[in-house]
């Protein structure tokens, strides 16, 4: 997890990441930037997501290019960005109420959150680390 946090600390300023972000708020809608571009790489995800506390939610993300890994991060309020999950191969990985799915053939990933809580309100980032 330490390596993931180091990546979280640096990915917004890195030249090897393309990322997009979604604002996920329980009971409200926020504006968002939905495209991240790095050279020939492009990442796109859902801009606005609103759910009721206790519901499940899925945040989708599509990308182009050849990835080394896909990661999901979130930033609660004005706190530091936190790594949630990282995946380099097809399939699912989970941690607590969070599940990540990656399909490299369709260039698609999602983050699934079970039983949302008010504390889950945050900006969520789908980040692709590109192969150089």
What does the pLDDT average to over 37-65?
73
Contact 22, 31 (CB under 8 A): no
Strands 91-95 and 48-51: unpaired
Contact 61, 128 (CB under 8 A): no
pLDDT grade, residue 85 (50/70/90)?
very high
For domain 2-130, the question of CATH label 2.60.40.10 is answered with: yes
What is the domain partition of the chain in residue ranges? 2-130
What does the pLDDT average to over 1-26?
47
Give the predicted TM-score (pTM) of the model: 0.70
């Amino acid at each position: 997890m330490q390596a993931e946090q180091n990546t979280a600390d640096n990915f917004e300023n890195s030249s090897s990441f393309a990322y997009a972000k979604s604002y996920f708020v329980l009971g409200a809608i926020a504006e968002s930037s939905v495209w991240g571009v790095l050279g020939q790489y492009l990442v796109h995800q859902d801009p606005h997501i609103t759910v009721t506390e206790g519901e499940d939610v899925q945040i989708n993300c599509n990308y182009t290019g050849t990835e080394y890994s896909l990661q999901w991060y979130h930033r609660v309020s004005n706190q530091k960005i936190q790594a949630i999950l990282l995946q380099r191969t097809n399939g699912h990985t989970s941690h607590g109420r969070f599940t990540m799915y990656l399909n490299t053939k369709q260039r698609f990933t999602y983050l699934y959150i079970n039983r949302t809580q008010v504390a889950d309100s945050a900006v969520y980032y789908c980040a692709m680390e590109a192969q150089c």
